[in-house]
Amino acid sequence: MQDTNTLVQIEKAVLSSIIFSPSNFEDVSSILKSTDFFVPSHRILFQIIQECEKLELPFDEQILLQRSAGRINENELIEIASTNPIANIPAYTQEIKAASIRRSLRDLANTLREQSFDNTRNPQEIMDLLERELSDISLENIARSNFQSSRELVLETIKHLEELKSRGNEILTGLTTGFQELNMITTGFNKGDLIIIGARPSMGKTALVLNIAQNILNSQAGVAIFSLEMPATQLILRMLSSLTSIPLHALRRGDLTENEWSDLTLYSDSLAQKELFIDDGSMLNIAQLRSKLRRLKRHNPNVGIAIVDYLQLMIGDRNQGRQIEVSDISRGLKTLARELEIPIIALSQLSRSLDSRDDKRPILSDLRDSGAIEQDADMILFLYRDDVYKKHEDKQRLARLKKEGKEKDFKAEYQERESEPAEIIIAKNRNGETRTIHVQFNKRFTRFEEKAKDRIYSQNTETKIEEDKGVSLDVEEITNMITKL
């Protein structure tokens, strides 16, 4: 760690290099902000240089002094400008950034020390402050310039294609959803993707995402679930009902036959061996989620996906409108998915206005609270079950007929059945087509299941892929050619 005098000289050298050669400004400004400078006058000078750059003014001493309006001493500006420029600007810039981060950490430590001695402060508030501030400091440490050369990008792409070639006919490039047709269209849930699953209440959002989680666990990847609506024990009961085909109501009562107890023991042991992590704490904000997931991923690298149930229950900055809050949460989830290189699934409420339409199948504009969700998401799936509306409409119609004394005229449109048709509507797919997938929902076991025709479709498609395999890509030859450039 350099001393203060050395840091001051480094800051002068970087500023002098910008004044001497304005083209250096772009490299420096991609990493530093004015607040990263230690000396107050250096911060002011960098701000003035930023203003000149926006106004397309030269960085000469006269203009800088004029625009400083007395905020910088003329002798000090002359001293900075006369400092010998440096050649290794990137290294010096990183030194300034590192010193800035260390100052931020020291300031945070002092703040925490003061507040920890304040008995009027809630400890949870102090911990929340720590989470937020550390998150902000961590994000500041990420360089803002992320350009990659075409050579790097092509090599990376060829490497990816080589991996795909080695898999043969495997359709997945990401984690399996467990639904063959959905896998075919999406190639699975891929690293860095934000997937939104939206539906009106009672459609089975949580059931669907738990089914997907089970399928991912079976593929030997770890799953993290943030359940803001339902206790963790209820999620486990639902998963066990789906796995064992024991009705959920029987599990809740513990009313099981000997065979069911045997099955429950078997599947419970199997589930206990999986890398499933559930956080059912409420009042979760994006900074807390980010910190928890980073920590979990650090200690459990095999965690391959995170699930948030559900997005609108997360809290944001209460000083902002709800739309801005949800936008910040949505953007934060997308950023975190890219940072940790895992897909993140977020369940979402839909606007109740869709219930007034004749066709109640959701569309993108039904996403509640923010249009930013649609913008940030790589994939948006809607869940729709017509029987939910039929059952509700039957109840309303029967109540109305009873009031009129005409209940004998009632004829139910909804027929109770063990398995009901359901639709998974792919409304947005950044890297593929949109389509509606028809599945069945088994209410007794809270389980979504593929129809037989979907399995046949999948097998036929895989056969077609085998037949269409014609031109092969000589990956090794292309890679060798590029590395020689």
Q: What is the pLDDT of residues 421-439, one digit of tens each?
A: 899 999 999 888 999 999 9
The answer on pLDDT for 311 being more than 90 is no
pLDDT value for 158: 83
Is-above-0.85 flag for pTM? Answer: no
Q: Where are the beta strands (DSSP E) in 241-369?
A: 276-279, 303-309, 344-348
pLDDT tier at 179, thresholds 50, 70, 90: very high
Residue 303 — pLDDT band, cuts 50, 70, 90?
very high
- Return the pLDDT at 343: 95
Q: How far apart are alpha carbons 403 and 401 in whole angstroms?
A: 5
Instruction: Give tens-digit pLDDT for 204-258.
Output: 899 999 999 999 999 889 999 999 988 988 999 899 999 988 888 888 888 888 8
Q: Between 331 and 484, where is the model more confident?
A: 331
pLDDT for the residue numbered 321: 72
Sequence-distant contacts of 324-331: CB under 8 A, at least 24 apart: 325/369, 326/369, 326/370, 326/372, 326/373, 327/370, 327/372, 327/373, 328/286, 329/286, 330/194, 330/370, 330/372, 330/373, 330/376, 330/377, 331/372, 331/376
Query: Which domains occur in the chain, in start order?
Result: 1-141 (1.10.860.10), 175-384+417-450 (3.40.50.300)
- Would the pLDDT of 468 be above 50? no
